[in-house]
Amino acid sequence: MKRLLVYLALCLPVSAHAALNVFACEPEWAALAKEIGGDDVKIYSATTAFQDPHRIEARPSLIAQMRRAALVVCTGAELETGWLPVLLRDAGNAAVQPGRPGYFEATRFVPLLEKPARLDRAEGDVHAQGNPHIHTDPRNIARVGAALGARLAEIDPVHAADYRARGEAFAARWQTAIARWEIRAAPLRNQPVAVQHKSFSYLLAWLGLREVVTLEPKPGVEPSVGHLARVAAQLQTAPAKMVLRAVYQSPRPADWLSQRTGMPAVALPYTVGGSERANDLFGLFDDTLDRLLKAVP
Residues contributing to the site for Zn ion (CB under 5 A): 126
Kindly tell me which of 126 and 153 has the beta carbon lying closer to Zn ion. 126
Widest pairwise Cα distance in the chain: 86
**Beta-bridge mates of residue 128:** 130
Of 191, 237, 199, which Cα lies nearest the Cα of 215? 199
Q: Min. distance of Cβ 67 from Zn ion in angstroms? A: 28
CB of 76 vs Zn ion, minimal distance in Å: 13
Q: How far apart are CA 252 and CA 254, in angstroms?
A: 6
Q: Which is nearer to Zn ion, 173 or 218 (CB)?
A: 218
| CA–CA gap between residue 129 and residue 131 (Å, rounded) | 7
Nearest approach, Cβ of residue 82 and Zn ion (Å)? 12
Nearer to Zn ion, 47 or 93 (CB): 47
Count other C-beta atoms under 10 Å from residue 219's C-beta. 18
With respect to Zn ion, which residue has the nearer C-beta, 126 or 209?
A: 126
The residues facing 71 across adjacent strands are 22
The neighbour count for residue 294, using CB atoms within 10 Å, is: 11
**In the complex, least distance from residue 144 CB atom to Zn ion, rounded to whole angstroms:** 17
Which residue is at the shortest CB distance from Zn ion?
126
- How far is the C-alpha of 165 from the C-alpha of 160, rounded, in Å? 9
Q: Judged by CB, which is closer to Zn ion: 21, or 249?
A: 249
State the minimum distance, in angstroms, from the CB of residue 37 to Zn ion. Answer: 27
